[in-house]
Structure 1
C-alpha cells in the first residue's frame, strides 16, 4: 500500500476540527430564537406623542411613545393576543422562511436595511476604483518607509481621531469607507484586520457612547428626557477621554502581540487576501496623478465631514459624495494612465469593489429581518413593546443605585433590537425618564445609561449594519470577531457600570 494512500486514510479517519459557524448561520439561529419569542410573549402597544426640544437654538420635534399608554392587545374574549411567526408568510408578511427577503428590502434610503445596503455597494465601488489606481498601495509603502521606527504612533492617532469623530458628529457608517484604505496599511505594518476594525469602527463607537454633543444620540436623549441639551458636558468630556485611553491601550497591547506573533491573530486566515496582495506589489511609483488621487480622497473626506456637521447629511448624501470621488479619480487615472487604466477597467474595478460588499450586505438584511419578526420598526402592536414595558416596570421597583445600573444593562440589551441611537432614544427615553424619577435616579443619569448602553454594544451585536459592513471590508467573520472582542466588551461593561453607579451616587444632574 502506498504512503499517499495511508496518509489519505489517516486524514479521513481523523476527526475534523470544530469551526465557528458562519455569521449567516448564527443570524439564522438568532432568527429561530426570535420566532420562538413570538409564541411566548404577547403583543402590546403604546400610543405615540410629539415632543419638542431645543438643539443649538432651533426647535426640534420627534415622535415618541407615551409611557402611560401601554396595553396588552386582547381578543373579544379578553385573552391576550400573540402574533406567532409562521413558517412562511405571504402578502408582505414576516415568516421564518421569508424574513431574509423582507429584511433586505425593508426601510428606506435613509436607513436600514435597503439604504445601508445601497450605501455599502456605492462606497465599495467608489473605493474599488481608488484601489485599482495603485495610489493607496504605493502611498502606504512610501508612508511606511518614511515613518520607520514610529509606526506605533499610527494606532493611538487613528483611534483618537475616529473616537473624536464619533463624539462630535456621530461617525459610524463612515468608518466603513476608511477601513477599506486603512486595512492594507495595518497589515503591512505587521498588524491585522482586527486592528483595523479597532482603530476605525470601534473607536467611533467609543466616541459615540461617551459623547458630550452627539446630535444623533445624547442630544436627542436629553431633549426627550427634558434635560438641558449639552448639559453635563464637563463630566462627559472627561469620560470620553478616559474611555478613549482605555481603547487605545487595549488596541496597542493586542497589536503588539500580533506583531510579535502574527499567527496569534484571530483574523490570521482572513488576512491572507491582503497579505497576498502586498506580495504582488512591485517597486512603488509616485507621480502627479497619484498626488491628485490622494488630494481627491482627502477633499472628499473633508467635504463629507463638513456636510454631516453643518447640514446633517446622512446616507444618501454621503454615498453621493463618495460616488463623485470615484468618478473624479477615474478621470485622473485615465488621463495619467495610472496602472494603465481604461474606461472598462474603471467599470470592472467599480463592480469588483461593490461585490466585496455583497456578503456584509446580506448580513445587514438578515439581521433586519430578525428584528422585523419581533415587530421592530413598526408602530403596530409588537413583542418589542411588551419587552420594553416589562423591563421598565421591573426597573422602577428597584433601589435607586440598582435601578441606575439596570437601566444601563437594559439599554445594552435593547440595542440588539434597535441599533439606531435616535430610534432607541425615541423608544426608551420616554419610558425610562419618568421611571427614573420614581426610582430616585436623576434624568441625567438615565441619559448617561442610555448613551453608554446604546453605543458600546454596537461593537459586538450582529444586528449593527455598520459593524457587519466594517467586518466585511476587513474579511473578518463575526464569530472570530466575537472571540476576540468579548474581553474588550467585558472591560467596557465593568468600567461603564462603575461610571453609571458613581454618577448616581454623586448626584450627576
Structure 2
C-alpha cells in the first residue's frame, strides 16, 4: 500500500534555482571536455566590437573547477546587479502605489466599464505593446506595466499568466517580427552591410503574422480561464495574492487616487520619451520609478515612513525572483571563463557552411535559435553571430537579408521562455509567476512561433529576399 501510494505521487518539477545550477554544472563539465577557442574581436559599425570570422584559434583549456562553479553565481549576480536592483526598485515602487489604493480604485472603474467585454482588452493592449517591440525594441521597458496588467487581468476574471502574457508576449511578438527595431534589425543589417531597415514590406507581413498568432493563443486561453478558473496553472496561488481587487467592495476613485494615477501615467510617458530621445536604460528607469514612488506616497498620504515601509515590503516580496537573474547569468560566466563560448559558435557555424542553400538558411535559423539561449541580448547576439553569418550566407548562396531574418527570429522567439533572458525573468518576478509554470503554459506558443519562423525563412530564401 505504501509503495503504491508513493508510485502515484506526481513528479515534482525542480525549483528554478536547482534547474539553473544543474545547467551551470553541465557547462562547467563541458569546459573539461570541449576544446577551448577564441575569435578575435575588431571594431565594427558604431564602434561595436564584433567577431572577426576568420580569426578563430584554439587556446589552452581553462576548465572551471568546483570553486569556479560556485563562484560563477556571485559573479553572475555582480554582472547583472543593475537588473536585480531594477527589479527591487520597480517592484517596491508599485507596492507604494498599490498601498495608496489608487490602482485598486482605478481598476475597479475599468472593470465596470468593461463588464461583459473583458477579452477585448487583450488584442488592443497586446498590439500596443507589440508596436513598442517592433519599433524601438521594447523589452526591459515593459516591466513596469506587468504588475498593473496582472492585477487588471485577475480583476477581469482571467489569471496572472494572462496579465503577464499580454505584456511579455505582446512586446515579444513585436520584437520577433520587428520591422524597424534599431537594436536588432538595425544592428544586424549594419553589420551585414545592408541598407538600414531594408526589406520593410516583408517584415511588416512577418510582424502581422507573429502578433496575430500570439494574440489568438492568449485570447483563447483567457476565454478558457474566464469560463473555468481552475484551468489556470496559477489558480491556487492567485487566490492567495494580496494585490487582487475585491469587486464586491470597490474603493471610490478619489481626487488623491486620480493624482496618483496621473503620476503613474506621467512616469510611463517620461519613460518612453527618455528611452527614445535620450537612450535611457536600467539605471535611469530605476531612478524614474523611485521618484514615482516618493511622489505617489506623499500624494497618497502614506507619509515618508509609510512610503519607505511599503517600498521595503515590495522589494522583499520579489527577492527570490530578482536573484534568479544572477543564477541564470552564471551560465554565461562559466562558458566565457572556460573559453568554450566561441568554440560552440565556431562548431555550429562550420556545420552550417556545408549544407545546401535551402538547408543552410534553415541551419542558420536553428543556429540563431540555439545561440539565443546562451546570448539573450539582441544587439549582443547580432555582434557575435552576424559577422560570421553574413559572409557565410554569401558562400552558401543565401541572401544576407535572409540571414538577418534568421537572426531576428532566433533572437526574438525564446526571449520570453529562456531563463537566461534577464528582463524576462525580471518580468516573471514582478508577476510572481514561477518559471516552470510559465514554461509549461507558453511552450506550445513558442513551438508554433518556431514553426512559423522556419516557414518564413524558407519563403524568404525561395524569393531571394534582398536587396542582396
Normalising by the smaller structure, the TM-score range is over 0.9
SS in 1 for 2:122: helix
Q: Which structure carries more helix by proportion?
A: 2
What is the CA–CA distance in structure 1 between the aligned matches of 2:209 and 2:252, rounded to whole Å?
Answer: 42
8 Å CA contact 2:298, 2:307 repeated in 1: no
8 Å CA contact 1:163, 1:205 repeated in 2: yes
What is the CA–CA distance in structure 2 between the aligned matches of 1:174 and 1:30, rounded to whole Å?
Answer: 28
Q: Which residue does 1:65 correspond to in 2?
A: 51
Q: Which residue does 1:78 correspond to in 2?
A: none
| Match status 1:154 vs 2:147 | no
Residues 12 and 209 of structure 1: CA distance in aligned 2, closer, same or farther (over 3 Å): closer
What is the CA–CA distance in structure 2 between the aligned matches of 1:315 and 1:125, rounded to whole Å?
Answer: 15
Question: Which string of whole-angstrom CA distances, capped at 9 and with x for unpartnered residues, describes residues 327-371 of structure 1?
Answer: 21122112xxxxxx2322111110111122211221100010111
| Match status 1:214 vs 2:193 | no
Q: Which residue does 1:332 correspond to in 2?
A: 299
Give the gaps of 5 or more residues in structure 1.
1-8, 53-59, 74-80, 89-94, 107-112, 335-340
> Could you tell me how far 1:43 is from its partner in structure 2?
0.9
Q: Which residue does 2:88 correspond to in 1?
A: 121
| Match status 1:255 vs 2:218 | no
Residues 83 and 16 of structure 1: CA distance in aligned 2, closer, same or farther (over 3 Å): same
Q: Which residue does 1:472 correspond to in 2?
A: 429
SS in 2 for 1:463: coil
What is the CA–CA distance in structure 1 between the aligned matches of 2:447 and 2:186, rounded to whole Å?
Answer: 27
| Match status 1:21 vs 2:3 | no
| Match status 1:501 vs 2:458 | yes
What is the CA–CA distance in structure 2 between the aligned matches of 1:309 and 1:219, rounded to whole Å?
Answer: 15
Q: Which residue does 1:44 correspond to in 2?
A: 37
Question: Which string of whole-angstrom CA distances, capped at 9 and with x for unpartnered residues, describes residues 132-159 of structure 1?
Answer: 1111011111110122122111100111
Give the gaps of 5 or more residues in structure 2.
none
Q: Which residue does 1:462 correspond to in 2?
A: 419
> Could you tell me how far 1:296 is from its partner in structure 2?
0.8
What is the CA–CA distance in structure 2 between the aligned matches of 1:475 and 1:313, rounded to whole Å?
Answer: 26
Q: Which residue does 2:65 correspond to in 1?
A: 86
Q: Which residue does 1:109 correspond to in 2?
A: none
1:130-169 → structure 2 map (5 Å cutoff)? 130-169=97-136
Question: Which string of whole-angstrom CA distances, capped at 9 and with x for unpartnered residues, describes residues 268-321 of structure 1?
Answer: 222223378434973411111111111111111111111111222111111111
> Could you tell me how far 1:191 is from its partner in structure 2?
0.8
Q: Which residue does 1:190 correspond to in 2?
A: 157
Question: Which string of whole-angstrom CA distances, capped at 9 and with x for unpartnered residues, describes residues 26-74 of structure 1?
Answer: 111111211121122111111111122xxxxxxx33110100011111x
Q: Which residue does 1:319 correspond to in 2?
A: 286
Among 80, 85, 101, the alignment partner of 2:74 is 101
**TM superposition outliers: structure 1 runs of 4+ over 6 Å:** 9-14
8 Å CA contact 1:184, 1:274 repeated in 2: no
SS in 2 for 1:310: helix
Question: Which string of whole-angstrom CA distances, capped at 9 and with x for unpartnered residues, describes residues 445-469 of structure 1?
Answer: 1110001100111121011111111
Among 322, 333, 339, the alignment partner of 1:372 is 333
8 Å CA contact 1:42, 1:83 repeated in 2: no
What is the CA–CA distance in structure 2 between the aligned matches of 1:410 and 1:418, rounded to whole Å?
Answer: 12
SS in 2 for 1:64: strand
Pick which of 487-496 and 143-152 moved more. 143-152
| Match status 1:492 vs 2:445 | no
What is the CA–CA distance in structure 2 between the aligned matches of 1:457 and 1:283, rounded to whole Å?
Answer: 39
> Could you tell me how far 1:15 is from its partner in structure 2?
5.2
Q: Which residue does 1:287 correspond to in 2?
A: 254
What is the CA–CA distance in structure 2 between the aligned matches of 1:172 and 1:130, rounded to whole Å?
Answer: 22
Q: Which residue does 1:240 correspond to in 2?
A: 207
What is the CA–CA distance in structure 2 between the aligned matches of 1:13 and 1:358, rounded to whole Å?
Answer: 34
**Over the residues paired in the alignment, what is the CA RMSD in angstroms?**
1.8
8 Å CA contact 2:362, 2:454 repeated in 1: yes
Q: Which residue does 1:5 correspond to in 2?
A: none
SS in 1 for 2:42: strand
Question: Which string of whole-angstrom CA distances, capped at 9 and with x for unpartnered residues, describes residues 400-444 of structure 1?
Answer: 111111111111111111111111111000011100100111111
8 Å CA contact 1:271, 1:475 repeated in 2: no
What is the CA–CA distance in structure 1 between the aligned matches of 2:250 and 2:387, rounded to whole Å?
Answer: 60
State how many pairs are aligned.
Answer: 465
What is the CA–CA distance in structure 2 between the aligned matches of 1:182 and 1:445, rounded to whole Å?
Answer: 36
What is the CA–CA distance in structure 1 between the aligned matches of 2:69 and 2:98, rounded to whole Å?
Answer: 39
**Which of these two proteins has the greater Rg computed from alpha carbons?**
1
8 Å CA contact 2:402, 2:457 repeated in 1: yes
